[in-house]
Amino acid sequence: MNIDLSVKIGSLALRNPIMLASGTVGYGNEISEFTDLNKLGGIVTKSLSLKPRKGNPPQRIAETPAGMLNAIGLANVGVEVFLKEKIPFLKKFDVPLICNIAASTIEEYIECTRILTTEETIKAFEINISCPNVREGGLIFGNDLNAVAKITDKVRATTGKPIIIKLSPNVSYIAAFAKAAKDNGADAVSAINTLVGTAFNINTRKPKINNITGGLSGPAIKPVALAKVLEISREVDIPIIGIGGIMDWKDVIEFMIVGSSAVQIGTLNFIDPSAPGQIVQQLEEYCEKMSIEKISSLTSSYIL
Partner 1 sequence: MFIINAPVEQTIEIDHRIYLLKINAPKITSIIKPGQFLNVRVSERVFPLLRRPFSVCDVDGEHLYLMFNIMGEGTNILAHKPKGSTIDILGPLGNGFNLTGDYKTAVIVAGGLGAAPFPYFTRTLNGKKDIISFIGGRTKDDVITYNLKNVKEASDDGSRGFKGNVVQLLEENIELLKSKNIKVFACGPTVMLRALKDFCLKNNFNCEVSTECAMACGFGICQGCPIESTENEEKYLLVCKDGPVFNIKDVVI
**What residues from 245 to 264 belong to the interface with partner 1 (CB under 8 A)?**
247
The H or E element spanning position 262 is strand 260-265
The single residue among 13, 66, 157, 212 that binds partner 1, judged by CB under 8 A, is 66
Q: Which of 99, 112, 131, 287 is catalytic?
A: 131
Smallest distance, Å, CB 28 to partner 1? 9
Tell whether residue 89 is a contact of partner 1 (CB under 8 A): no
Tell whether residue 215 is a contact of partner 1 (CB under 8 A): no
DSSP 84: I
The single residue among 256, 269, 276, 299 that binds partner 1, judged by CB under 8 A, is 269
Tell whether residue 138 is a contact of partner 1 (CB under 8 A): no
The single residue among 60, 86, 123, 166 that binds partner 1, judged by CB under 8 A, is 60
Return the bridge partners of 108, or none: none
Counting Cα atoms < 13 Å in the Cβ hemisphere of 156 gives: 17
Among residues 163, 112, 108, 172, the alpha carbon closest in space to that of 145 is found at: 172
Tell whether residue 244 is a contact of partner 1 (CB under 8 A): no
Among residues 51, 135, 64, 122, the alpha carbon closest in space to that of 90 is found at: 122
For partner 1, the closer of residues 169 and 214 by Cβ is 214
The answer to whether 99 is a known catalytic residue is no
Torsion angle of C-alpha atoms 71, 72, 78, 81, degrees rounded to 10 = -170
Q: Find the part of the chain contacting partner 1 (CB under 8 A) among 135-143, 181-189, 197-205, 270-278.
A: 270-278
> Which three-class secondary structure string do you get for 201-253?
CCCCCCECCCCCCEEEECHHHHHHHHHHHHHHHHHCCCCEEEECCCCCHHHHH
**By CB under 8 A, how many residues form the interface with partner 1?**
38
Tell whether residue 36 is a contact of partner 1 (CB under 8 A): no
Tell whether residue 207 is a contact of partner 1 (CB under 8 A): no
Torsion sign, CA atoms 217, 51, 157, 137: positive
The H or E element spanning position 149 is helix 145-158
Tell whether residue 223 is a contact of partner 1 (CB under 8 A): no
Smallest distance, Å, CB 63 to partner 1? 5
Tell whether residue 62 is a contact of partner 1 (CB under 8 A): yes
Smallest distance, Å, CB 19 to partner 1? 15
**CB atoms closer than 10 angstroms to residue 135:** 10
For partner 1, the closer of residues 65 and 160 by Cβ is 65
36-67 in b/e form (b: 16+ CB < 10 A) is ebebbbbbbbbbbbbeebeebeeebebebeeb
The single residue among 143, 272, 278, 282 that binds partner 1, judged by CB under 8 A, is 272
Interface residue list for partner 1 (CB under 8 A): 23-26, 30-31, 33-34, 46, 52, 54-63, 65-68, 70, 72, 75, 218-220, 247, 267, 269-274
Instruction: Enumerate the active-site residues.
Output: 131
